[in-house]
Structure 1
């Protein structure tokens, strides 16, 4: 009888150990999958946001060049405003998904973008008035913050 009890206890301990090990492994797998899913979503959001900023910058420069040549800048200005509207929406997702450092860097990018937008909106301003250098510098800081948030090793960034 005692050997049967020892056998039964051994089976119960083995089953319990197997259950706990499986539960711990499944939980770790689930957490990895969730982290990967959110990192993919973050990366997509970061790329979309930065792409939108670059579209604003290109459209602003196109408007400045059109003015320098005495041409109509309305098409470039419309593209700039459309990209600005999209940037505004993307920024909300960016802030929801990013860490504090990336969100702070994105706020600085917004400030520089607004400066560029306001300068471009002045009808007499051509390319000489548009200086996207501060925007490029802010984007470089954002790139670093985003890489850190996504735990991507740092390298050189291009503006």
Structure 2
């Protein structure tokens, strides 16, 4: 073999080795990036679920407190105990919201702000900080479940989950209030 042929062979081997190395590095970087994205998506999902769960806990605590403070239901627990439960639930919601703020994008955060505002309106009624008739209390619950459903939609989009749900049938299913009774209509 002459020198030129040997140099071409060596250059081809070097070029093949370099291209294999570069390709392997690109594939590994892509795998790391995908792994990181999946890890962050898992953290986001956990944060979103924790947040909605904490909001629902606030709603449940508010309903119990409201029904006792407005003499709709009798319970062995005192009004003070129920309001302390609501305070604890509000604290968990605030912490879950902060975690969400660290992981979510603008659309999800804006939607969570709307959920917080609707949840606070319910909390304030349960604490008697704001007064109003039972019909308004029920309307606040319809609004919070609409806000939660809107949050679900933007969170699903943020996570890349296909499909979705829209419409009032989902909001109506979320209401946890008992049917209005004759005696509570005057409240």
2:66–2:125 CA contact under 8 A, matched in 1: no
Matched, 1:69 2:78: no
Query: How far apart, in 2, do the equivalents of 1:76 and 1:34 lie?
Result: 42
Q: 1:144 aligns with which of 129, 153, 171?
A: 153
Q: Name the residue aligned to 2:90.
A: 84
TM-score (norm 1): 0.91
Change (3 A) 1:70 1:126: farther
Change (3 A) 1:139 1:56: same
Provide the alpha-carbon RMSD of the alignment. Answer: 2.1
Bigger Rg over Cα: 2
The CA deviation at 1:124 is 9.7
Deviations 1:1-55 (A, max 9, x none): 2221111101100011001100110111011001000000000000000000000
Query: How far apart, in 2, do the equivalents of 1:125 and 1:101 lie?
Result: 32
Residue correspondence of structure 1 range 1-159 to structure 2 within 5 A: 1-67=3-69, 68-69=72-73, 71=75, 72-122=78-128, 128=134, 130-131=137-138, 132-156=141-165, 158=170, 159=174
SS in 2 for 1:156: coil
TM-score (norm 2): 0.78
Which ranges in structure 2 are unaligned for 5 or more consecutive residues?
175-187
Q: How many residues align?
A: 159
